[in-house]
Amino acid sequence: RLGLDIARREHPEVVVSDIKMPGMDGYEFVKQLRQTPEIERIPAIALTGFGMAQDVQKALSAGYTAHVCKPVEIEQLAALIRRLATADKN
């Protein structure tokens, strides 16, 4: 819930979220993100330990822009964040 409140207040260029979280899971998080007009188009990355094909599809279908499985190389994640952050600007 805190992440959603921060996104609503700060309007980040990209959101990175886990799927398995206490209180509100990542699917509910991204659903609410997509239902909030001022932040609905922010790219969202699911960074998760769930990496089966059906997990990737479920995350993308839920509203995530991209799916990255843990553990992730920081350079790979940084490159994806840069790409998504600049996608609307090109």
Tens of pLDDT along 29-85? 999 999 999 999 999 999 999 999 999 999 999 999 999 999 999 999 999 999 999
pLDDT at 90 over 90: no
Closest C-alpha among 34, 41, 84, 81 to residue 62:
34
pLDDT confidence band for 1 (50 / 70 / 90): confident
Q: How far apart are CA 62 and CA 9, in angstroms?
A: 22
Indicate the pTM of the whole model.
0.93
Chain position carrying tokens 């959101």:
15
pLDDT of residue 59: 98
